[in-house]
A and B are shown apart, each in its own frame.
Chain A
């Protein structure tokens, strides 16, 4: 409808690309023909620029504006159609562009301002609110603030800005206080062969999740993130436990559960003393990873004490001699007169008294040496043969050393034995093998033997300990754990460890000595009936005196306590084969438990109990039942702790 005003010869193109529009139009007047100049100035105050043709000025208005006007220019060449200039305004689009750039600039300027405001960026960083820290961290970061962990906080603008382009060293800050059993930057703080990557604390632990957030808690899928074998849940596809789980070595004490439970405890003789159930021996109150059995005194002594005191060690035995090599005078002067001597004296008492009163020499009737007849027809004890390095059955070799030893024992007491032992047991101290042995006793025994007599004890030895009996010096253990017996066994084991350079002949002595000490059927070797002898790392043997708890599994945690509490509400019998302990620990009546102890590698064993496998646990730890997340049983860190020296109390610093 307005069309006809805009014919081709009377209107211009509309130019929305121009930045300015006529100022008159901006105040709702009529825009002029020409529009503003593109630079924003007025487009022209006159309608044409007159041209002088010949001597007349002519109008040169453009055709679209109407062509040359009728009025024509004035005589001096100025156009007669002029108008006051306008003040062009920016078009809406041009304004939009300016405002957009202004907005962007304002933002950049504000950012630049914030970047550098406050000395050392305090203003810039102060308006950052990252969210509350967990309570523990909050307490100590109060003074230093964000910079306790974020090293670039409060830094200069340049440093702060550049820190965006490289990784933060936050792990260092964590390690100021937190310690681990291994390298903090290794997976599981340890070196695992495959795919050991460098870990940073913040890979798993994120802060600023609230005051009561648990930043230690990890979900199963977080664990699965690194592990190649993906585990959907414990009950579904957790890898099988190790073959003999939870037993990874044989027990240190040879306690055969099977024989005890099936035979001994049911034996009428012992049934009164036998424990009624597992907890009769195992201390459930303090149950954690292990449910320790009670001490010997508590659990075993009821039945096993008697036997101990009966297992005596023969340290010395007077062997058979062919001739008497001991100087009788020495004996006489050391030991005093013998009974025979006293008989002679008493027969000649009056003469002797007379002589003594007169001050004359006393002449004793000649002791007529009868033909020497050895009082002993025994063999020497392997122990003293070992100590003297003589052969047991070679009378020629052992006669003199033993008789000499006897004389010396009579003269010096225990010292010779101590010396002999000391030579063999270099670092261990001989005193421990002979504690309780008094020199008085030794002398008395030695004197008797030196006089080719049997030693007669004043009374029968019922109290245990060292005593002499006829031709033997014996030791009777007092009780379980007797230190002397224990040390003789250690002594024997020590020699087993190859600390001797032996001749072949002598080797049999050594073996006999070892055997007599260690034989479980005789003597103090009875200790080894229960205490296992196992290989050591350097190829030797040692006796397992103490109860050995299970191997340290640093990454798994199992607490009997929690389970027992759940499994044994009042009234459930722990001996019930389907409940209690036997829910998991099932007796393997066919186990070859004892056989394992015939060799000395503790890792070769057959447990009394069937191994516990994953399905047992999964009975309860399964879908829709008890929790079964990774962290329930597994730890990631190796013995995490705190570095206490960084905990300081400033208030007491002065």
Chain B
């Protein structure tokens, strides 16, 4: 019989008592992933469990140049941002793209979400023995093109080959560095009651595109991945406002996971209008027949911005003028009620709690 659990706060240093092995859900971007970081990695790495968790780390440049170390987390001077992500998508090729697109755009976006201008990526390949050279070549070329479009350099890399059967043909890790301009302070904890929440376009496309090719689930669709570099979009947003509070790219776990993480990090409530969230008809249909919720489906070319009310108009106009933000819409706001909890107003006028997905999104029958 497990000890009584206080469901309001996961007190540390509790071990991950529920699992003695890693399960697929730990990589799903939802609660299980967050727990893994909070209860296993952070303590092991010697970090304060209160430490802010967001997509990239920053190093204060002035402090660095003066021979110092990381610098305080409160620094507003120019900072170096760096981030890493690994790409293990299966299948490697999906409608509209391949793992190479994700590997470049994903990390470019991670870096950009802290307001940084991405400069360069490193690329680490873990290849399965037997992988076709032609496949690798296509992926590499895709990465080259994506880097060019994003305006970043693929600066350094590494390749390892493992036994057949271990690597699902190909895993890619990319780490990115960028520079956060002076005065820019973008992180989840900055979400403040009264702020407006904006999304840069249609949600659910990437996850559905990938799922349409999954064995046992396949279906025909015109939906393609939305994988895209968002650093250009972020730049025009920063020009429009010097006080953007939060930027987040809703990848694994979708819009729901990102909003829940922001609400939790800033200890604020979030409320959004379901009817305001742009979901393409085909994504709705796929979610309908599989029993998925579009707000929990991954995106690879969209961002969420949390913006103070007086900046909304200028930010939204700037976004809509950019090729990657044409369908930008306001979807909700940050509130001081129900801190840490995200709610959605349904078309019928009722309110439902939106929870962070537990692990992998799976089709259901019931």
**Is chain B found bound to chain A in the same assembly?**
no
Which residues in A have some Cβ–Cβ distance to B below 8 Å?
A: none
User: B residues near A, CB below 8 A?
Assistant: none
